[in-house]
Amino acid sequence: MVYMVAKLHIVLSGLLVASLGGCGDGSSKAASPPDAPAATGGIVSSAGAGGGPDGVGGGGGTGGQLSTATSATPPLCVPGASVACACVTGQTGAQTCSSAGVFAACVCPVSTVSPDASAPAACVPGASAACACPTGQQGAQTCTSVGVFAACVCAAPTVDAGAAGGSDGAVSPPDAAAAVGGAGATGGVSTGGSGGGSGGNTSNSSTEIGPETAPEATDAGTGLIDAALDVSPSLTQYSLTISNSATGSGTVISSPAGIHCGTTCSANFTKGTLVTLTATANNTSAFVGWSGACTGNGTCNVTLDAAQSVTATFVTRYLSVSAGSAQTCGVKIDGTIACWGDNTWGEATPPAGTFTSVSAGDAHSCGVKSDGTIVCWGNRNCPQVPVPAGTFVSVSANGGCYACGVETGGTITCWGGGGTPPTGAFASVSSSNAYTAGGGSAVGDSFTCGVRIDGTVACWGANEFGQATPPAGTFASVSVGGEHACGMGMDGTVTCWGFNPWGQATPPAGTFTSVSAGDSFTCGVKIDGTITCWGLACQSCVDLPTATPPAGTFTSVSAGIGFACGLRTDGTITCWGGNAFGQGTPI
C-alpha cells in the first residue's frame, strides 16, 4: 500500500512537471530569430513572441516604421529582464529577455481541479483523456498503474513565438517621395493560430503620401491588433445654397446639419450626399413652396451630384384684404397695414400703427386703428376733409373723395360727400367705387348701402339703374360695386341688383360665405372655400379675360376695378386680373 502511494506521487509529480511546457507532445518550437536590422534611419521590426507546442500562435513582427532618426536602434530588451505578458482572461504571465535581446515565450500559471466526476471508474494504465477545466484552460488525466485516473491537470495555453517580422521598408530621405514599407513576415504557426507581421510605413520626411499599407493580422495569442497606416483620399464636395424670393420670412434647416437659413444659407456637402431641407415660416408668414432644385411645398430632398441652389418662398400672412381702383391694402397678422399698386396720390402709403380693418378706394384708402379711430391717406386733388372724431367698428372708402364709417353705437357717418345716410343702427357699410360706366355715373352720383342690425339693407345716393333700391329680406352682408350691389342672405345665397349689362348682377346658384362687387363683375367665396366670379373683368380692357379666380381655398375675396384679390385659408393673398400698377402683386 505504501508502495502504491509513493508510485502515484511520482506519477503525479511527473505529470505536473510536464504540464509546465504545455499539454502537447512535450516538444517546443524554437523562438524566431530577431528581425533584420533597419535601413538607415529606420527602426528594427519587433520579433514575434515565442510559444510552446500546442500554444496559441504569436503575432508577427511589426513592419518598418517612419524614419525620424539616423542612429542605430537598441535591442528590444535587456537580457535577463522580466515583464508581464497577456494570458487568458483573468491571468497574467511573465516573459524573460533572452541573451539575444528578445523576450522568450510567455509562461502562464497552471491550476488543478479535482478528478472529473464523469470520468470512467476504471481505465487502462498509461491512457490519457481530456478533462474539464476553467474557461480558457486545457487539461488532461492519465490513468495510473492501479487503473484509476489521476487528478486533472489544467494549464493556460502558452504563446508561441511567431516568425520574425519582415525587414523595414526602405526609408525615404528628407523631402523625397515616400517609399512603400515592406510587408511583414508571417507569424509562426501553432495549434493556437498564427499572426502576420505588419507592412512597413512610409517615411515622415516625405512631402508626398505613399501607398496605404494593408491592415495587420490579428495576433491570435493575445487578441491584439496593430493598426495599419490609413491614408484616405480627399472627398469631392459641392455647395448647396438657399435663398428666399418672396415677402415673408422663415428658416430652412438641413439634414445633415450645415444649413440654418436665416443665418447660414450655404454649405458644402460630400458628393452624393442626400440633403433634406425643411422650411418653417415665422409667425407672420407662410411657406408656400420650393423652386430651383426642388418643387412642391413639402420637405425638399437634394442629392449633391453638383452645386445646387434652392429657393424657399415665404409670403406675408394677412387678416384681411381690400382691392381698390388701382391699389390694394391688407391688414397683416401683426396688425400693421401694407399697400401695393398705384401710389400717385399716396394711396398706397399707409401710416404706422396697428389696425383692425382697411378699405381701399379710388385715390385714397382708410383704416380703423386698434383704438377705434379712423385714419385716411391719399385723396388725390379732393378737398382735405378732416376725418370725424369718435370710435368706429368699420370704414368704407368711396371711389371718389368720400368715405363712410360705422360708429361704435351703430350710427353711419360719412365725410367728403356721400350724401346723408339714414338714421338707425347698422352693422356694416359699403360705398361705391364710382367707376364711370356706360350710363354716365360720376363721382357725385355714387351710392352707398348698409346692413341694419335687423338684417335689412338700406341704400342711398345715385339710383339710375336701381342700384340704390335693394330687395326685401334679411342679409348677412352687402357689397357695393360700380353701379350694382350684391347681398349675401342669412342662408348663404347671393342676390344682386342694379346695372347688369355683363351679368355682374346675375349670381350663380349655391351657398356662399362672402361676396364682393367690383366695377363690372362680382366674386364670392363658396361654402367649400373656392371662389367663383361672374360678369366682365374690365369694361374697356379687351385684353383681359373674364374674371377667373385661381384654385385653392379662401376665407374672403375683394373685387376692385378689373382685378380681384382673395385671402387664402393659410393667410396668404392671391390676386388675379389687371396688374398695370402692381396692384395684383402682394407684398
Best mean pLDDT range from 143-152, 254-263, 371-380: 254-263
Average pLDDT over residues 133-160: 68
More confident residue, 210 or 89: 89
Question: pLDDT, tens digit, for every residue of 11-29?
Answer: 323 332 333 333 333 333 3
Other residues' Cβ atoms within 10 Å of the Cβ of residue 464: 15
> CA-based angle 113:117:121, to the nearest 5?
120
pLDDT interval class at 242 (50, 70, 90): very high
Tell me the three state secondary structure of residue 396.
Answer: strand
Question: pLDDT, tens digit, for every residue of 480-525?
Answer: 998 999 999 999 999 999 999 999 999 999 999 999 999 889 999 9
Question: pLDDT, tens digit, for every residue of 220-235?
Answer: 333 333 333 344 445 8
pLDDT value, residue 407: 97
Beta strands 457-461 and 475-480, pairing class: unpaired
Tell me: cis bond preceding 262? Omega within 30 of 0 counts.
yes
Distance CA 484, CA 564 (A): 16
More confident residue, 274 or 69: 274
Contact between 480 and 446 under an 8 Å Cβ cutoff? The reply is: no
For the beta sheet containing 250-255, the strands, ordered from the edge strand earlier in sequence to the opposite edge, are: 260-261, 250-255, 274-281, 300-303
Question: pLDDT, tens digit, for every residue of 55-109?
Answer: 333 343 443 343 333 334 445 678 888 777 766 555 667 777 878 777 777 676 6
pLDDT value, residue 487: 98
pLDDT interval class at 173 (50, 70, 90): very low
More confident residue, 201 or 416: 416
Tell me the three state secondary structure of residue 377.
Answer: strand
pLDDT value, residue 90: 58
More confident residue, 484 or 545: 484
Helices (runs of H) and strands (runs of E) counted in the chain? 1, 35
Q: Which three three-digit cell numbers place residue 538? A: 374690365
Report the chain's mean pLDDT, rounded to a whole number.
74
Architecture in CATH of 237-316:
Sandwich (2.60)
Per the DSSP assignment, residues forming a β-bridge with 479 are 486
Tell me the three state secondary structure of residue 561.
Answer: coil
Distance CA 69, CA 65 (A): 11
Best mean pLDDT range from 5-9, 74-78, 255-259: 255-259
pLDDT interval class at 402 (50, 70, 90): confident
Residue 180 CB-density burial (10 A; 0-12 exposed, 13-18 middle, 19+ buried)? middle
Question: pLDDT, tens digit, for every residue of 381-391?
Answer: 666 678 899 99
Domain extents in the chain: 237-316, 321-513
Q: Which CATH class is domain 321-513?
A: mainly beta
Per the DSSP assignment, residues forming a β-bridge with 211 are none
**For residue 53, pLDDT beyond 60:** no
